[in-house]
Each structure stands twice: as C-alpha cells, then as structure tokens.
C-alpha cells in the first residue's frame, strides 16, 4: 500500500487551496503532488471483481413500471445495494461476488406502488478455475464448467393490481457454453468497462464574477480504465460590470483525467488541461478584446451516470477564477 493515499475529499480540498495560491511555482508543485497522489491511490486499490447478471420476471397486467430492489448480505444482515426502475421485465446489473436477494415492486399508470414480491435469494460466484490435465486419463473432459441457468420461483407479482401474472419465475441468467477461461475474460472486460468514463453532456454554471453564467457542451473518451480525455466548449455571458453593454467569452478546452467508479452507478473524477479564451467587452466608449491561453483543474462527482456536479479552477498564471457547475450527462456503458 502506498504511503500516499488521497481520498476524494482531500483531492477537492487541494484544488480549493490552489485557488488561493498566486505563486505559479507553488501551484504547479501542489498539482504535481496531487497527480502523484491520485496515481498512487489508483495503484493501491484492489480491484473488486464484478459480474453482469440479468434478473428476469414475468410481466403483469396494468403495470406501468417496476422497481427492482437488490440487497447484499454483509455482516450477517442484508443491506441496500441497488434500487432501479425499469419498464421492461428484466434488468442487467453489475455485481461483486456475494449473497444477494431481490424483489419487484410494480407501479400502475398513476405511479401508485402495489405490494412487492417476496424476497428472492441468489448467489454471485467467482468463475470456476480452468483445470488442465495433460495425463492420459484426461480424455473425459472432467474440467469444472460454469453453471447453467438458475430458475427461482417467487410469489404472485401484483396482488390487487392484477389478479394474475403471465409468468411466475425469476431467472438469473449466467453465461453458457463457454469455458472457465472465456468466462473469466468476459468478467474482467465487464469490470474494466465500469471504470471507463465515456460521456456526452451539457452543463450550466457560474464563476460568480465575469462571466456570471457559463453554458458548456462536453464529452469524454476513455481508452483504458480510470483514464479519460475530455473535450468541450464553454460560452460565457452576462457581465457584473455595470458599464458593460455587451459581453461574451468563448473557451474551447481539452483535458486529461482520472475516473474512480462507485460500486453502483457514477463515480468521482479529476482532470486537468487548458484552452484558449477569446471574448469581448463592449462599452459605450468602445470595445475591449480578450485573448489569452489558460490552464484549468477540475474535480467533481457523477451521480447515477446522468448528473455531473463539478468545481473548476481556471488560471492564466496572473489571476485565478473558479466555476461551479451542474449538468446532464449521458454515459455510454
């Protein structure tokens, strides 16, 4: 375990500290220490294997959507692990090894919940090892193979909302017709995908000075797990200076960053980069252009793979500004 282990809280705190540092040498040193700490943190983390499981249930009449509740057994008791709504009769989720249970709560077209099903227990296991036997007696193909399909019965889905269901089974679908080695490779790929941050989104924020409002469009590309590249464009408007008749500020930017996923959806991210600022102030007496290069550092949190909350520090190494933003993001999984 590395001696330097930064938490997300400490990461954001360091960014706030750099806001008040005007000495460019000190700021860059702090930033380099920050990057080293993040790298050490990622290297020190032990990867928890995760496996895709599909839960399937029979459809019911008069149902608009279903709520799926998944609990995990920890310390002798079940704890909330996941809650998700769907209009389908199945859900695919990423789970670590362990003992789980789930139930389905149906909602009618008015959004009223009916009585949920009974809890259904199931287990997520590590893939079996590949057994290689080169002896003459190995011709019977006795290697352990992955489990097939496990079918679990549960009680009637919607008592009171619908008098019957068209199916009364829940299915946990497991990969079939593959070797243990292929299964392990698939699960490693899925686990790695959870740490990739591929997104496209829009956001609205404020620097609390000029520009007072900042709209942006941005996207990220993640070639490998925990690493992403971000490209975007900001449009700033509204000046806090009373004498200004018209004002705008444009900022195309590029960044490189790290992403640490949560157990469910979302995660925390930190990135650094820069771009070129161009803008214009229009006064009654004339106009003034803005043109200069800038560097920025950003950190934030992604919630449920659809909402970004971020804090950004921007500097031309002579002055410092900041931005707080909230935005919608679509994450490609």
Phi/psi of residue 285, nearest 5 degrees: -85, -15
Which range, of 45-54, 62-71, 145-154, 267-276, averages the lowest pLDDT? 145-154
Cross-strand pairs, 152: 170
Domain end: 162, 194, 226, which one? 194
Domain end: 194, 221, 245, which one? 194
- Does one domain contain both 109 and 126? yes
Residue 39 lies in a domain: no
Long-range contacts of 129-136 (CB under 8 A, 24+ apart): 129/180, 130/179, 130/180, 130/181, 130/184, 131/180
Residue 1 lies in a domain: no
What does the alpha-carbon distance between residue 270 and residue 151 come to, in Å, rounded to a whole number? 43
Give the confidence band of 126 by pLDDT, cuts at 50, 70, 90: confident
CB distance 295 to 272 below 8 Å: yes
Domain end: 142, 173, 194, which one? 194
- Does one domain contain both 291 and 247? yes
In 3D, which of 86, 106, 89, 104 has the Cα closest to residue 161? 106
Tell me which DSSP letter residue 113 carries. Answer: B
What does the alpha-carbon distance between residue 275 and residue 273 come to, in Å, rounded to a whole number? 7
CB distance 14 to 30 below 8 Å: yes
Distances in Å between the alpha carbon of 32 and those of 8, 15, 29, 57? 16, 12, 5, 51
Give the confidence band of 139 by pLDDT, cuts at 50, 70, 90: very low
Give the confidence band of 332 by pLDDT, cuts at 50, 70, 90: confident
Residue 256 lies in a domain: yes
Domain CATH number, residue 68: 2.60.40
- Does one domain contain both 271 and 327? yes
Tell me which DSSP letter residue 132 carries. Answer: -
Residue 38 lies in a domain: no
Considering only residues 310 and 94, tell me which one the structure prediction assigns the higher pLDDT: 310
Give the confidence band of 246 by pLDDT, cuts at 50, 70, 90: very high
**Per-residue pLDDT tens over the stretch 182-236:** 444 444 444 456 789 999 999 999 999 999 999 999 999 999 989 999 999 999 9
User: From the CB of residue 217, how many other CB atoms can be counted at a distance below 10 Å?
Assistant: 14
Tell me which DSSP letter residue 174 carries. Answer: -
Total structural domains in the chain?
2
Residue 149 lies in a domain: yes
Residue 111: its pLDDT value, please?
86
What does the alpha-carbon distance between residue 145 and residue 139 come to, in Å, rounded to a whole number? 15
**Per-residue pLDDT tens over the stretch 259-294:** 999 877 889 999 999 999 999 999 988 999 999 999
- pTM, to two decimals: 0.49
What does the alpha-carbon distance between residue 74 and residue 118 come to, in Å, rounded to a whole number? 20
What does the alpha-carbon distance between residue 77 and residue 267 come to, in Å, rounded to a whole number? 26
- Does one domain contain both 130 and 214? no
- Spatial neighbors of 253 by CB under 8 A, at least 6 apart, are 230, 231, 232, 233, 234, 273, 274, 275, 296
In 3D, which of 132, 168, 175, 177 has the Cα closest to residue 150? 175
**Per-residue pLDDT tens over the stretch 153-183:** 333 443 444 433 333 344 444 444 444 444 4
- Does one domain contain both 62 and 188? yes
Look at strands 246-261 and 227-237 and give their pairing: antiparallel
Residue 67: its pLDDT value, please?
93
- Does one domain contain both 145 and 232? no
Residue 46 lies in a domain: no
Specify the DSSP element, H or E, that contains 190: helix 180-194
Residue 4 lies in a domain: no
Domain CATH number, residue 311: 2.40.160.20
Considering only residues 86 and 22, tell me which one the structure prediction assigns the higher pLDDT: 86
Structural domain of 255? 196-331
Neighbour-count burial for 45-71, b at 16+ CB within 10 Å, e otherwise: eeeeebbbbebbbbebeebeebebbbb
């Amino acid at each position: 375990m590395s001696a330097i282990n930064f938490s997300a809280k400490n990461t954001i705190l360091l960014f706030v500290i750099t806001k008040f540092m005007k000495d460019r040498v000190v700021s860059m040193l702090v930033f380099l220490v920050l990057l080293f700490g993040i790298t050490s943190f990622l290297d020190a983390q032990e990867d928890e294997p995760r496996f895709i499981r599909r839960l399937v249930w029979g459809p019911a009449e008069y149902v608009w959507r279903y709520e799926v509740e998944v609990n995990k057994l920890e310390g002798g008791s079940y704890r909330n692990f996941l809650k998700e709504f769907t209009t389908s009769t199945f859900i695919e989720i990423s789970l670590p090894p362990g003992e789980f249970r789930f139930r389905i709560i149906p909602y009618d077209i008015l959004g009223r919940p009916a009585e949920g099903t009974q809890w259904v227990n199931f287990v997520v296991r590590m893939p079996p090892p590949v057994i290689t036997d080169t002896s003459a007696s190995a011709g019977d193909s006795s290697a352990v193979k992955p489990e097939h399909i496990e079918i679990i019965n549960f009680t009637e889905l919607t008592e009171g909302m619908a008098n019957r269901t068209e199916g009364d089974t829940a299915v946990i679908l497991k990969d079939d017709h593959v070797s243990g080695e292929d299964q392990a490779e698939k699960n490693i790929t899925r686990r790695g995908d959870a740490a990739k941050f591929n997104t496209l989104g829009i956001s609205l924020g404020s620097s609390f000075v000029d520009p007072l409002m900042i709209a942006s469009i941005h996207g990220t590309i993640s070639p490998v797990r925990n690493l992403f590249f971000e490209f975007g464009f900001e449009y700033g408007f509204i000046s806090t200076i009373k004498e200004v008749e018209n004002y705008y500020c444009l900022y195309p930017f590029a960044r490189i960053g790290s992403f640490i996923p949560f157990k469910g959806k979302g995660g925390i991210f930190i990135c650094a980069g820069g771009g070129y600022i161009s803008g214009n102030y229009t006064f009654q007496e004339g106009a003034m252009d803005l043109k200069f290069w800038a560097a920025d550092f950003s950190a934030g949190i992604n919630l449920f793979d659809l909402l970004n909350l971020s804090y950004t520090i921007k500097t031309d190494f002579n002055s410092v500004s900041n931005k707080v933003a909230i935005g919608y993001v679509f994450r490609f999984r």
